[in-house]
Every structure is written in structure tokens, then in C-alpha cells.
């Protein structure tokens, strides 16, 4: 990369720490981000599954949505105009996965929404955060105040030893369950903590004032159970967990039903529910709930050891010339010691156990449709 291109990249509050710890840096969503450290992607991945990994996710967007009425229920009702999820039903101290939809039923972004008692706290993807904030302001400014928390860092602590590591700084975390979220004192810093993450492991995401982030991360990394983890292992961990990467597995051309995200849309927002519809693309999405979609995101397990990468064309048999789908994420799963992938197939070919073929370097490699997650999750319910 040219020097002037590198200089245009944004930096997170932890940039100096990454360099000091020998991270290999790469451009990602407009930021200079660590892709791996000295241990390498494989060891970082396996360490997170066995102990605890610490991820810098400060490039993501953090927003407050507060109703001008002062009632959090009014902010929730307002947000339901833009997402198909039940936001009113998110209790104080809890959070929920959601998606912004467009008028065609496609996904503008996916996000997390937490109820902090008197306002909603949103975390959105880095590449979409400017557009997401503009979308909120264009549609909800009459009813809500929208505040960007650009002065905060965000870190994720993931793995079976995440709780014990964080408990040294925050005794409250032991009582938290999966998807609990809210203000917590971590060490001597006022943070927002959620028990969630993007690896399939038990863990936490911690929003911290930017000027306190390096000290907090250093304190966590002083624990020998905790290693810093880069984007490389973050991607292989979320792929094993069967979790979507926005812009790859889901985008403006995929609906929640096509993306196999029906579980995220509660009955109250579906046909017959008390607050059915009312979000962009509802007509198309609700019809797909009733009738199914023509295609579907599925898990895929290649035969043999060769990974099948994003973009590979999928075919019904070894000799067909008609492409029926494509791989949207693919790589080697270190926890499985085998390749895994996700992609889209016609609904008729989406049943677990179905064999399809991927075009890889001029050869047709067989894959089987597989259930996700590929590695069982360990969330604390």
C-alpha cells in the first residue's frame, strides 16, 4: 500500500498498543487494523476457543437513541419503523440482534440494540456507520435524539476464561447472562458491558471512553489467559459459529428469510402479530415468512482439506454449466481441522446433507450442506 493511502486510514484509540505488541496491520473499513499478532491466526483462534481472546472493535459505530418524550418505549417504537424486530419487548438491561431493512426487503446493515433504561444503545458495523446514522436522523429525528458516541472505544473479550479475566476488574459480570447489557464499573472506569460477541464463545463486549481504553486493555492483557487477537482469527471464529459478515453473507440484496435469520424476527412483528409489519420491505419479507424464499443461506462442508473461498460458483452436479449459487464466506476451520463455508443455494437444494459442487481453479469440488453453527456455541444462558 502506498504511504499516502495508509495515511488516510483512521486509527482506533488502541492503535499504538497494536504496534507496540507487534501486530501486522491492514486496511479494514477505512481503519488501520491488526490482522494478526506474533502468535499467528491459527494460535490466536485456538487460544480464544480454549482460554480468552481480546479484540479491538473500536472501528464499529456506537449510537444513543433517546426519545424526546423521555420514554424508552417511544424510542423503541420509533426504531421499529426501521427494523423488523421487537424492540419494545427488549427489557431494561437486555439487548437484541436486529437489521435495518430497505424497501425491497434487503438489509442495509445488522446491529445490536440494548435497552439502557432511559435510552437505547446501538452498535453498528464500521463500514455502514455513517450511513446508519444518517438513516436514523432522516427517519427518526422528529421523535428521537440521535447521538454518536465517537469518543468511545469498543473491545471484545471472548472465550471460556473471559468471565474469570473480566471478573478481576468487574465483580458484577458473573451474574450476567447471554445478551445482558448495561452500564458497569470496570476497574475504576464507567463502561457499558454486554455478555455477547461474534465468536460463538461466551464473552463480553466493553464500551469504554477512548482515553481509558489502552489502560483497560493493558490490565486485561496482563492476565496470561488473555491474548490479543486480530481480524484473521475473528473471521475464522465467526465463520465456525455460522455468523454472518455484513457485505458478504448478507447485504442490500438479501432478506432476513433468505439469510436464514428468521429466528431474529419475533412473532409480534410477523403477520398476525400485535405490531406486524410497519418496517421497510415488510410486504416482501412477510410473504417470504409465509411462503418461503427462492434461495437460502446455508452452511457448507467441503470434502477433503481444500478450503472453498468467497465467490466460488456453486453447481448442482459435477458436469452442469448452470450456476445455482455462490459461496459468500469460506476458509479453514482450525477448531474442526477442516474447511467450512457458507453460501446461497436454491431452497430446493438447501436441505442438510445435499451435495453440491464448487468451481475451484477449474475443478469441481463436492460440498455437503451442513447445519450451523459448525462449532457448538457456549453462551451462558
Which neighbouring-strand residues pair with 155? 56, 206
pLDDT of residue 6: 55
pLDDT of residue 7: 65
DSSP structure string for 57-80: -TTSEEEEEEETTS-HHHHHHHHT
65, 72 in Cβ contact below 8 A? no
**Nearest CA to 260 among 344, 366, 203?**
344
**CA within 13 Å, CB half, 312:** 29
pLDDT of residue 115: 98
pLDDT in tens, the chain (381 residues): 444 455 699 999 999 999 999 999 999 999 999 999 999 999 999 999 999 999 999 999 999 999 999 999 999 999 999 999 999 999 999 999 999 999 999 999 999 999 999 999 999 999 999 999 999 999 999 999 999 999 999 999 999 999 999 999 999 999 999 999 999 999 999 999 999 999 999 999 999 999 999 999 999 999 999 999 999 999 999 999 999 999 999 999 999 999 999 999 999 999 999 999 999 999 999 999 999 999 999 999 999 999 999 999 999 999 999 999 999 999 999 999 999 999 999 999 999 999 999 999 999 999 999 999 999 999 999
pLDDT of residue 182: 98
> Which H/E stretch holds residue 121?
strand 120-124
With a CB cutoff of 8 Å and minimum separation 6, the contacts of 224 are none
pLDDT of residue 1: 42
Amino acid at each position: 500500500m502506498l504511504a499516502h493511502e495508509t495515511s488516510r486510514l483512521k486509527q482506533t484509540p488502541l492503535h499504538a498498543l497494536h504496534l507496540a505488541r507487534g501486530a501486522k496491520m491492514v486496511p479494514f473499513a477505512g481503519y488501520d487494523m491488526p490482522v494478526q499478532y506474533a502468535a499467528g491466526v491459527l494460535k490466536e483462534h485456538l487460544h480464544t476457543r480454549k482460554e480468552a481472546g481480546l479484540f479491538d472493535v473500536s472501528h464499529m459505530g456506537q449510537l444513543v437513541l433517546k426519545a424526546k418524550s423521555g420514554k424508552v418505549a417511544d424510542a423503541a417504537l420509533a426504531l421499529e419503523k426501521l427494523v423488523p424486530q421487537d424492540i419494545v419487548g427488549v427489557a431494561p438491561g437486555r439487548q437484541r440482534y436486529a437489521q435495518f431493512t430497505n424497501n425491497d426487503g434487503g438489509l442495509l446493515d445488522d446491529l445490536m440494540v440494548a435497552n439502557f433504561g432511559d435510552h437505547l444503545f446501538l452498535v453498528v458495523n464500521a463500514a455502514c456507520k455513517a450511513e446508519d446514522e444518517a438513516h436514523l436522523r432522516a427517519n427518526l429525528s422528529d421523535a428521537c435524539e440521535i447521538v454518536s458516541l465517537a469518543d468511545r472505544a469498543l473491545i471484545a473479550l471472548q472465550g471460556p476464561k473471559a468471565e474469570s479475566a473480566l471478573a478481576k476488574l468487574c465483580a458484577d459480570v458473573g451474574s450476567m447472562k447471554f445478551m445482558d447489557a448495561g452500564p458497569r464499573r470496570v476497574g475504576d472506569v464507567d463502561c457499558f458491558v454486554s455478555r455477547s460477541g461474534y465468536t460463538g464463545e461466551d464473552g463480553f463486549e466493553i464500551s469504554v471512553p477512548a482515553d481509558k481504553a489502552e489502560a483497560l486493555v493493558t490490565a486485561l492483557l496482563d492476565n496470561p489467559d488473555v491474548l490479543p487477537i486480530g481480524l484473521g482469527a475473528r473471521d475464522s471464529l465467526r465463520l465456525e459459529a455460522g455468523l454472518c459478515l455484513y457485505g458478504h453473507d448478507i447485504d442490500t440484496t438479501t432478506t432476513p428469510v433468505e439469510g436464514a435469520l428468521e429466528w431474529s424476527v419475533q412473532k409480534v412483528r410477523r403477520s398476525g402479530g400485535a405490531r406486524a409489519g410497519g418496517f421497510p420491505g415488510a410486504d416482501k419479507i412477510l410473504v417470504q415468512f409465509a411462503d418461503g424464499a427462492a434461495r437460502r443461506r446455508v452452511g457448507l462442508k467441503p470434502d477433503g482439506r481444500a478450503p472453498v473461498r468467497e465467490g466460488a460458483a456453486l453447481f448442482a452436479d459435477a458436469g452442469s454449466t448452470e450456476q445455482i449459487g455462490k459461496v459468500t464466506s469460506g476458509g479453514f476451520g482450525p477448531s474442526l481441522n477442516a474447511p467450512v463455508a457458507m453460501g446461497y443455494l436454491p431452497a430446493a437444494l438447501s436441505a442438510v446433507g445435499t451435495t453440491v459442487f464448487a468451481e475451484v481453479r477449474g475443478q469441481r469440488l463436492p460440498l455437503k450442506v451442513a447445519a450451523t453453527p459448525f462449532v457448538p456455541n457456549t453462551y451462558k444462558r
